[in-house]
Structure 1
Amino acid sequence: MPDKHISSQFDAELNSISTHVLEMGGLVESQLHQAVYALVHFSEETADQVLENEKRLNEMEVHIDHEIISTIGRRQPTARDLRFLMAISRTTQNLERAGDEVARVARMVKRLTSGNTPRSLPVAELGMAADLAASMLRKTLDAFARLDTEMAVSIIKEDDRMDSEYEGALRMLITYMMEDPRAISPSLNLLFLAKALERVGDHAKNIAEQIIFIVKGEDVRHTPLVEVESVVR
Structure 2
Amino acid sequence: MWDKHLSSRFDADLNLLSSKLLEMGRLVESQIACAMDALNTFDMALVEQVIEGERRLNSLEIELDEAVSNIIARRQPAARDLRLLMAISKCVTNLERAGDEARKIAKRTRRIAREANWRSINIAEIKLSGEMAAHILRRALDAFARMDNVAAAQIVRDDEAIDNEFRAFVRKLVSYMTEDPRTISIGLDYLFIAKAVERIGDHATNIAESVVYVVRGTDIRHEHRKQREHEMLRS
**Same fold, TM-score > 0.5, yes or no:** yes
2:89 corresponds in structure 1 to 89
Structure-1-length-normalised TM-score: 0.96
Q: Structure 1 counterpart of 2:47, which letter?
A: A
For structure 1, the 5+ residue unaligned runs are none
Aligned residue number for residue 115 of structure 1:
115
Q: Which runs of 5+ in 2 are unaligned?
A: none
CA distance in 1, matches of 2:99, 2:217: 27
Distance 2:75 2:38 in 1: 45
Deviation at 1:171, TM superposition (A): 0.7
1:179 to partner: Cα distance: 2.0
**Residues 39 and 123 in structure 1, CA contact (< 8 A), matched pair in contact too:** no
Deviations 1:169-206 (A, max 9, x none): 10111111122221111111000100000000010001
Q: Which amino acid aligns with 2:145?
A: A
Q: CA deviation at 1:135?
A: 1.3
Please state how far the C-alpha of 1:208 moved relative to its aligned partner: 0.5
In the alignment, is the contact (CA less than 8 A) between 1:2 and 1:80 conserved in 2? no
Per the TM alignment, residue 93 of structure 1 is displaced from its structure 2 partner at its CA by 0.5
* Structure 1 CA distance for aligned equivalents of residues 216 and 145 of structure 2: 16
Paired positions, count: 233
Q: How much has 1:69 moved relative to structure 2?
A: 0.7
Q: Quote how far apart the aligned CAs of 1:121 are.
A: 2.4
- Supply the AA of the counterpart residue of 1:155: I
Show the counterpart of 2:64. Answer: 64
Moved more, 22-31 or 124-133: 124-133
Please give the residue correspondences for 1:171-190 in structure 2 after superposition, counting only pairs within 5 Å. 171-190=171-190
1:131-170 to structure 2, matched below 5 A, reads: 131-170=131-170
Residue type of the alignment partner of 2:86: M
Q: CA deviation at 1:15?
A: 1.3
In the alignment, residue 138 of structure 2 is paired with which amino acid?
Answer: R
Give the TM-score of the pair, scaled to structure 2: 0.95
Poorly superposed stretches of 4+, deviation over 4 Å:
none
CA distance in 1, matches of 2:68, 2:48: 32
Q: Distance in 2 between matches of 1:229 and 1:49?
A: 37
Q: What is the identity percentage for the equivalent residue pairs of Structure 1 and Structure 2?
A: 48
The Cα offsets for residues 19-58 of structure 1, whole Å up to 9 and x where unpaired, read as 2111101111111011000001111221111001111111
